[in-house]
Amino acid sequence: MGESPPIGFIGTGLIGGPMVLRLLEQGRDVVVWNRSADKLAPLVAAGARAAASAREVAEQAQLVCLCLTDTAAVEDVVFGAHGMAPALGSEHLVIDLSSIAPDATVRMATRLRSERGAHWLDTPVSGGVPAARAGRLIVFAGGDAADVARAAWVFDALAQRVTHMGAQGAGQFTKSCNQQIVACNLAVIAEMVAFAEKAGVDATRLPGALAGGFADSLPLQIFGPRMASRTHTPPLGAIATFRKDIEQVVRLATDVGADVPVTTAALERFRAAYAREDIGGAADVSAIVRLVTDA
């Protein structure tokens, strides 16, 4: 534990919690804080050290990872009334694993460097809960190459691959591209399950039948069986998260003049699932199948 410097970790939810556990399993010294304190108990039991605030995390660790819900949460944790900015200096590196807006990322990183001299990497991840638990996440990095190299020992515990995509914001743009493909894939997998069922085909056999062909994908193999069997627990990704991410893709596409009609159609499916009382934002993304099978 004492051989490497402490790692700060703020945001210990569906993805962040497994990442903290992975770091602890790899012998890292981890200082944690979460806006909902109840999520810290199992991590402390596993060996993490709980801080009293986000600021205290920055006081105890020079590398601070964030894994938060959205742009507003990241901004509050860094620059809010009780945020960590006053405790940050030129020796600090903020590693933002959240999936947030690229333009806001550039703005916050620039402000933090100007006001505190601290460094920022936007490093959103892909792979979901199973990859987080196994240390097999995919990381898209935006920021200075030197900072990517400095964080390598952290990513060694969490990820199977880190790709430096460019300057600050590039990692978040890449995650938007990732979510664009995944959301469209999930929407059509749900339609496929309903199509097969209405035709009298056993939808539970489809993921295995399509494995290895051009239609195969991780979403098909992970969420296809869940959709076909209507098994949506434990959650692996929330409807609300995808709605938020795809709304961002559509906004960014408008900003840059890109035409995204298929993505826009997928967004409407996630909005519809979010709005339904019997599905809702907290439901696993596989529950989107109910839009086309419960009618």
Query: What pLDDT is recorded for position 294?
Result: 81
Query: What pLDDT is recorded for position 24?
Result: 97
Tokens of 238: 């929330």
Statement to judge: residues 133 and 156 lie in one domain: yes
pLDDT digits (tens, 9 = 90+) for 213-241: 999 999 999 999 999 999 999 999 999 99
Q: Domain boundary residue among 167, 200, 223?
A: 167
Tokens of 168: 């600050």
Statement to judge: residues 100 and 229 lie in one domain: no
Tokens of 82: 């009780």
Q: How far is residue 2 CA from its own chain's centroid?
A: 29
Out of 2-6, 103-107, 136-140, 248-252, least confident range: 2-6
Residues 6+ apart with CB under 8 A from 127: 136, 137, 138
From the list 128, 73, 58, 80, the residue with the least C-alpha distance to 104 is 73
Q: Domain boundary residue among 113, 144, 167?
A: 167
Statement to judge: residues 118 and 197 lie in one domain: no
With respect to residue 265, please indicate whether it lies within any of the assigned structural domains.
Answer: yes
pLDDT over 80 (residue 77):
yes
Residue 34: phi and psi, rounded to 5, are: -140, 145
Q: How far is residue 120 CA from its own chain's centroid?
A: 17
Residues 6+ apart with CB under 8 A from 58: 8, 64, 84, 87, 88, 92
Statement to judge: residues 50 and 193 lie in one domain: no
Query: What pLDDT is recorded for position 3?
Result: 66
With respect to residue 2, please indicate whether it lies within any of the assigned structural domains.
Answer: no
Statement to judge: residues 17 and 159 lie in one domain: yes
pLDDT over 60 (residue 1):
no
CA 136/CA 134 separation, integer angstroms? 5
pLDDT over 80 (residue 117):
yes
Could you give the number of structural domains in the chain? Answer: 2
> What does pLDDT average to over the chain?
96
| E strand or H helix that includes residue 104 | helix 102-116
Annotated active-site positions, please? 175
pLDDT digits (tens, 9 = 90+) for 158-188: 999 999 999 999 999 999 999 999 999 999 9
Cβ(170)–Cβ(145) below 8 Å: no
pTM (predicted TM-score): 0.92
With respect to residue 128, please indicate whether it lies within any of the assigned structural domains.
Answer: yes
Which residue range forms the structural domain that includes residue 212? 173-293
From the list 41, 44, 33, the residue with the least C-alpha distance to 73 is 33
pLDDT over 80 (residue 2):
no
CA 273/CA 270 separation, integer angstroms? 5
| Higher-confidence position of 2 and 280 | 280
Tokens of 198: 């209405």
Give the other-Cβ count within 10 Å of 5's Cβ: 12
Cβ(87)–Cβ(59) below 8 Å: yes
With respect to residue 161, please indicate whether it lies within any of the assigned structural domains.
Answer: yes
pLDDT over 80 (residue 95):
yes
Residue 243 belongs to domain with CATH number: 1.10.1040.10
Mean pLDDT of 232-255: 94
DSSP state of 238: B
Q: Decide: helix, strand or coil at residue 94.
A: strand
Residue 284's DSSP bridge partners are 238
CA 30/CA 20 separation, integer angstroms? 7
CA 161/CA 54 separation, integer angstroms? 28
With respect to residue 223, please indicate whether it lies within any of the assigned structural domains.
Answer: yes
Statement to judge: residues 140 and 200 lie in one domain: no
CA 83/CA 71 separation, integer angstroms? 14
| Higher-confidence position of 82 and 213 | 213
- What percentage of the chain exceeds 90 in pLDDT? 95
Query: What pLDDT is recorded for position 277?
Result: 95
